[in-house]
Amino acid sequence: MEFRKVFDTIPEEFDKYRPRYSRDLFEALISFAGVGPEKKVLELGPGTGQATDPILDTGCDYHAIELGEHLYEKMKEKYGSRKNFSIINDDFITHDFGREKYDLIYSAATIQWIPEEIAFSKTYDLLLPGGTLAMMLTRADYKSPNEALYNRIQKVYDAYFKPEIEYMHGSFHYENAVNYGYENFEMRAFYGQRSFSADEYVAFCGTHCDHIVLPEPCRGKFYDGIRKAVLEAGDKIVFNDTYVLYLAKKPCD
């Protein structure tokens, strides 16, 4: 199974444990893109709505495309009654949008799963002149709050984290948007914090793509080791989060 499809196997866990983004980030995005009732928006791969509510709540004409069948069903369950909500279950890479055009296209930790040439050229073509491309992600730091716990968890990874398929992600370069016609590229950072109990942290780890496919017997030993490390650190692990927002504009003419 492709890594970008593996999240669809855990829709309930994904909905409960995947990180949300800061209010400040959405305020900045909504202001920058002028999102409101007269604007048409497309979200790429919304998952189960980790970045959906603040945009949908503006009253915009919200659309989404979700690859995962179960994630798609979860989105319909959560938002299907909203009059300004629309979603399709398909692959952005191959989907034919016809003559549809959008004022804002945005992605929360999704666009990097799409080959760069397709991601930037297709979003560019789908945007109206002057439209905005927004890309967000979370960078999580649990070393700074407790370096001793971090080091112990790394030892668990070294001993038991043996996925059968190597995770090769990380080659997507957001700044390359300017190579496909975008202008006014910028990066903004916002900050927050999360904390987990041992059981919550194990559940959260289980929503990472390469952790989902971890085989036995390593899987059980790995999660037991993670749980034990956090329990012995007071049953608490803290994350300092940086919410990164990349913005770019399609020229007006």
pLDDT at res. 167: 61
**For the segment 151-167, what is each residue's pLDDT rounded down to a tens digit?**
999 999 999 988 776 66
The percentage of residues in the chain with a pLDDT greater than 90, rounded to a whole number, is 81
pLDDT the model gives residue 221 = 93
What per-residue confidence (pLDDT) applies to 209?
76
pLDDT of residue 76 exceeding 70, the answer is: yes
pLDDT of residue 153: 97
- 181 to each of 43, 124, 134, how far by Cα in Å? 20, 8, 15
- Across the chain, what does the average pLDDT equal? 93
Reference 55, options 134, 130, 161, 118; nearest CA is: 134
Confidence of residue 11 (pLDDT cuts 50, 70, 90): confident
**Domain range summary for the chain, segments of one domain joined by +:** 3-249
Tens-digit pLDDT profile for residues 101-141: 999 999 999 999 999 999 999 999 999 999 999 999 999 99
Q: Which pLDDT does position 148 carry in this prediction?
A: 97
Question: What is the predicted pLDDT for the residue at 217?
Answer: 87
Taken in order 192, 73, 46, 91, the sign of the CA dihedral is positive
Residue 1 has pLDDT above 60, yes or no: no
Q: For residues 164 and 205, which has the higher predicted lDDT (pLDDT)?
A: 205
Pick 3-249's CATH classification: 3.40.50.720, 3.30.1050.10, 3.20.20.140, 3.40.50.150.
3.40.50.150
Q: What is the pLDDT of residue 4?
A: 66
Residue 36 in this model has a pLDDT that exceeds 60: yes
Answer whether residue 143 shows pLDDT above 80.
yes
Which range, of 21-25, 207-211, 244-248, averages the lowest pLDDT? 207-211
